[in-house]
Structure 1
Amino acid sequence: MKFLAITLIVHRPDPVTGVRKSTHERFREVLGNAVLAEELGFDGFGVGERHERPFISSSPPVVLGHIAALTRSIRLFTAVTTLSLLDPVRAYEDYATLDHLSGGRLELIIGKGNGTAQRELFHVTPEDQWDRNAESYEVFRRLWRQDKVTARTRFRPELTDAEVWPRPYQQPVRVWHGSATSKQSVDLAARYGDPLFSANVTHPVEPYAELIRHYRERWEHYGHDPADIAIGAGTAGLYVARTSQQARETYRPVFESNLAFQRATGLPVVFETLEDFVERSSALIGSPQEVVEKVHRYHERFGHTVLHLHADADGLTDTEHRRSLELFQSEVAPVLRHGIPDPPFAWGPVRPESPVTGEPARV
């Protein structure tokens, strides 16, 4: 199993202390968390894309470009790239450039995005968002694979023998499809034989497990080998401590503050108590053994081989957050790596194979 640390770069007051860092401090915190993730042995670091309050993650290529300069080996993910809002040509240019600068460490998780404010900012409607997402991905995919592209498009100017530079480093970049609530994203992933990344954050396991079952069905419908399926899944929170009691006592103020925020802002409340949150959500809060057992329970439902964890402290102190990540990597991750397989592809730059040697070709 592989492990990612992911941030959406939420910029709001700390859930417990009420202190809000400056924008500059928040970005520096993200960079520090990325360096820490590589230091602790995480396999990837992800940056989300949002174009509305309270997020400041509107430019993942810029943030990931800086992280690429500060790190050496960790793979760099988007979480997610909102292709329904973007011009696929411009998105390709940004990410092909970033892929070269990072030495082929880029992986994309794409999705339509969510939120009324960012849809309105880009003049995208609920009725056309899925069609935009599919069209943008199809153009993006072809740009990454073809030197010249002709495309009859609805949502951007048509392309005729278009050449877009730079040409890619990875051939092609791996694209995961973010899945939260809709079968459209699942079907798009299955159609192209791409890996799926389940959000697995807001609700109990059942709706996410149902979408993953649908993905597997559609994967076979489109004629792909089931052995090639790769699935990732998110988590709703993380705090690992020596004992379950200690983990719950430390995390309780975080949960209660987040619950108050949900109620104050009119967000739907799914888990009314910390005990229910720990039991029925995907949050990993407990002792190392308790966390291992919970990941295995989810794996039985999902068959996932990649797991994302929160890169941010999210109301924990910096010391508590770091100790939790260290305990996860020292006592949880090794057990899960041993007991759950890796994705069915190499965890490194995607390069075409030489027809003679079978080794990655030089480009």
Structure 2
Amino acid sequence: MHRPDPITGVQKPTHDRFREVLDNALLAEELGFDGFGVGERHERPFISSSPPVVLSHVAALTKRIRLFTAVTTLSLLDPVRAYEDYATLDHLSNGRLDLIIGKGNGAAQRDLFHVTPEDQWDRNAESYEVFRQIWRQDKVTAATRFRPQLTDAEVWPRPYQQPIRVWHGSATSKESVDLAARYGDPLFSANVTNPIEPYAELIRHYRERWEFYGHDPAEIAVGAGTAGVYVAPTTQEALAAYRPIFESNLAFFKKAGLPVVFETLEDFVARSSALIGSPQQVIDKVHRYHEQFGHTVVHLHADGSGLTDTQHRDSLELFQAAVAPTLRKAIPDPPFDWGPVHPSTTEEAARV
């Protein structure tokens, strides 16, 4: 997102905003987080229209952290071109790439790419199916509706990871959940706008469809977003620091005509997925969500989003020192390795 700071009202130049994203990625690696994600939007107030370019630069600046797209809007993209970008990024990052795909939101970007509400889900499914084939097969034939058909098509470069892990972003619809379950792919719940119930319902549906398609329940992996994060030594300190940010965001939503779900900071902290409070408060809340989601990956905002640089760093450091160790011990890891793929592993996977 690229809009004025919620507290100062100052909007950074585009160049500085990109620099801030890179600095946040470096901070995430320094503090020991597992991954760093960049979203894709093609409308105001976002400038994240090219995640493979941004993530390629992040890959060059980092050594360990995994790189996520959050999300890759396949309903808007040519799957052949998307494959070329991400296969290249996969090589440049030494196999640190994870994709989260989704249809995307927003009327302006649909208009920009001539996608309609009626065909967006079909486009998303078709693009993913073609993308998935290209990643796995040296030659692809596909009778597509939304791009020229493919006949024994070869697309280069061939990927580094074989196959890549693809998560399916889920916010409001069963279509994305069903697509993930059909292919045995992990699910990432957006979980940022509403209280827990609609997201929990979609995750329950995902688990039902997973078993319907004959997959092993032990192989399910679910991730979940959070609506905001600020961890402080005490609840009172956390609320005091976050209150002006919440009030500024609330005014922004109302002015923009966006739906307001949480009218007060106290309601936002109590009923949204935001992790705002003391370390124990945050631990307890993640556990409450885990009881309904069964998720093993949690997303935190890498942006300060109105916090000062010092507040932002202190919050993430406290999360890593006082929250993450407890969660790592109590909640199991996903049923796969987070480490980078090595060429020998890729070659073995290709033979299998």
TM range (shorter): over 0.9
Does the aligned pair in 2 maintain the 1:174–1:350 contact within 8 Å?
no
Q: Is it true that 1:265 corresponds to 2:256 in the alignment?
A: yes
Cα distance per residue 1:126-164 (max 9 Å; x no partner)? 000000000000000000000000000000000000000
Rounded to whole Å, the distance in 2 between the matches of 1:32 and 1:333 is 21
Moved over 4 A (4+): 350-354, 358-362
Rounded to whole Å, the distance in 1 between the matches of 2:260 and 2:55 is 33
Alignment correspondent of 2:39: 48
Alignment correspondent of 2:311: 320
Alignment correspondent of 2:166: 175
Alignment correspondent of 1:331: 322
Does the aligned pair in 1 maintain the 2:162–2:349 contact within 8 Å?
no
Q: Is it true that 1:288 corresponds to 2:279 in the alignment?
A: yes
Cα distance per residue 1:47-86 (max 9 Å; x no partner)? 0000000000000000000000000010000000000000
Alignment correspondent of 2:103: 112
Deviation at 1:349, TM superposition (A): 3.6
Does the aligned pair in 2 maintain the 1:352–1:360 contact within 8 Å?
no
Please give the secondary structure, in 2, of the residue aligned with 1:77. Answer: strand
Deviation at 1:348, TM superposition (A): 2.3
Does the aligned pair in 1 maintain the 2:94–2:341 contact within 8 Å?
no
> CA 1:230–1:353 in structure 2 vs 1: closer, same or farther (change >3 Å)?
farther
Matches within 5 A, 1:153-168: 153-168=144-159
Deviation at 1:353, TM superposition (A): 8.6
Overall identity of the aligned pairs, in %: 83
Alignment correspondent of 1:198: 189
Rounded to whole Å, the distance in 2 between the matches of 1:289 and 1:35 is 27
Rounded to whole Å, the distance in 2 between the matches of 1:194 and 1:274 is 36
Alignment correspondent of 1:34: 25
Please give the secondary structure, in 2, of the residue aligned with 1:84. Answer: helix
Alignment correspondent of 1:346: 337
Cα distance per residue 1:284-335 (max 9 Å; x no partner)? 0000000000000000000000000000010111110110000001110010
Q: Is it true that 1:87 corresponds to 2:78 in the alignment?
A: yes
Cα distance per residue 1:14-51 (max 9 Å; x no partner)? 01110100000000000000000000000000000000
Cα distance per residue 1:67-113 (max 9 Å; x no partner)? 00000010000000000000000000000000000000000000000
Rounded to whole Å, the distance in 2 between the matches of 1:353 and 1:190 is 29
Alignment correspondent of 1:126: 117
Alignment gaps of 5+ in structure 1? 1-9
Alignment correspondent of 1:233: 224
AA matched with 1:265: A
Alignment correspondent of 1:98: 89
> CA 1:27–1:154 in structure 2 vs 1: closer, same or farther (change >3 Å)?
same
- In the superposition, the TM-score normalised over structure 2's length comes to 0.98
Does the aligned pair in 2 maintain the 1:47–1:78 contact within 8 Å?
yes
Cα distance per residue 1:222-262 (max 9 Å; x no partner)? 00000000000000000000000110011000000000001
> CA 1:160–1:81 in structure 2 vs 1: closer, same or farther (change >3 Å)?
same
- In the superposition, the TM-score normalised over structure 1's length comes to 0.95
Please give the secondary structure, in 2, of the residue aligned with 1:109. Answer: strand
Rounded to whole Å, the distance in 1 between the matches of 2:350 and 2:122 is 35
Alignment correspondent of 1:6: none
Does the aligned pair in 2 maintain the 1:351–1:360 contact within 8 Å?
no
Rounded to whole Å, the distance in 2 between the matches of 1:175 and 1:360 is 16
Which fold has the larger relative contact order, with Cα–Cα distance below 8 Å and residues 6 or more apart in sequence? 1
Alignment correspondent of 1:4: none
AA matched with 1:71: T
AA matched with 2:274: A
Which of 12, 27, 40 matches 2:3?
12
Does the aligned pair in 2 maintain the 1:171–1:352 contact within 8 Å?
no
AA matched with 1:62: V
Alignment correspondent of 1:189: 180
Alignment correspondent of 2:127: 136
AA matched with 2:113: F
Question: Whose helix proportion is higher, 1 or 2?
Answer: 2
Deviation at 1:351, TM superposition (A): 7.0
Rounded to whole Å, the distance in 2 between the matches of 1:77 and 1:18 is 30
Matches within 5 A, 1:67-78: 67-78=58-69
Which of 284, 289, 297 matches 1:306?
297
Alignment correspondent of 1:21: 12
